[in-house]
Amino acid sequence: MESVILHGKIFKQFISSGKIQERISVLAEKIKSEMNGTEPVFIPVLNGAFFFASDIIRKSGITCEVSFVRVSSYSGTQSSGTIKNPVGINSDISGKKIIIVEDIVDTGETLLYLLNEISKHDPAEIKVASLLLKPSALKHEVKIDYLGFEVPNDFLVGYGLDYDGLGRNLEDIYTLEK
């Protein structure tokens, strides 16, 4: 689809599902070569990272655990800047290698919060996989080990990203028409 309408706003195609899958295959190979044999714990961040996590974890093909967390810092098309929901991290991650899986890093607030929370459980190491990064929106210094694409500071939907609940199930990523 070239464009979609969500809550009356027009979004146009920005990254095709073919390009997304191609890039994820590259990241999955990197994870495989760095993590194989170590049985890491993938921690996907709900709801947005659900599709990315599903694809990258399967493509990596490694023996691993998967444990979801939920954080929400977004309402409408602007980051609200506050972490509303607490996370549910299991404490059995101590001594294990962690890979946080995010859909998008915007201000970096969510990721910083998660890094702090997860390190309290004494993991062996924490790596970060994010499909998207908005470098010009970053307010915190965060390191992303497995990054899909750098994107401009525009509002995106699709492939897990939503606009007030809609658009997560789109296979491509779309940008808000200005």
Looking only at residues 40 through 79 of this chain, which bind Mg ion when binding is defined by CB under 5 A? 48
Q: How crowded is residue 137: how many other Cβ atoms within 10 Å of its Cβ?
A: 16
> Which residues, at least 6 apart from 24, have a Cβ–Cβ distance to it below 8 Å?
52, 55, 56, 59, 131, 148
Contact (CB, 8 A) for 71 and 87: yes
Nearer to ligand IMP, 13 or 107 (CB): 107
The stretch among 55-63, 85-93, 97-105, 118-126 that binds Mg ion (CB under 5 A) is: 97-105
| List of residues contacting ligand IMP (CB under 6 A) | 45, 48, 73-74, 79, 102-111, 155-157, 161
Which residue has 């990064």 as its token pair? 133
Residue number closest to Mg ion, CB atom: 48
Number of residues located near Mg ion, criterion CB under 5 A: 2
106 is catalytic: yes
Question: Position 126: which residue type?
Answer: I
Q: What span, in angstroms and rounded, lies between the C-alpha atoms of 112 and 108?
A: 6
Residue 133's H or E segment, with its range, is strand 125-133
Q: Which two tokens stand for residue 63?
A: 């023996």
Binding partner of residue 73 among Mg ion, ligand IMP, none, CB under 5 to 8 Å per kind?
Answer: ligand IMP
Q: How far is the CB of 102 from ligand IMP (least distance, A)?
A: 6
Binding partner of residue 118 among ligand IMP, Mg ion, none, CB under 5 to 8 Å per kind?
Answer: none
Active-site residue (options: 55, 106, 154, 162): 106
Which residue has 């979004």 as its token pair? 11
Detail the DSSP E strand segments found in 16-90.
41-46, 65-66, 69-70, 74-75, 78-79
Q: How far is the CB of 134 from Mg ion (least distance, A)?
A: 13
The stretch among 79-87, 96-104, 128-136, 147-155 that binds Mg ion (CB under 5 A) is: 96-104
- Residues serving a catalytic function are 106
Residues that bind Mg ion (CB under 5 A): 48, 103
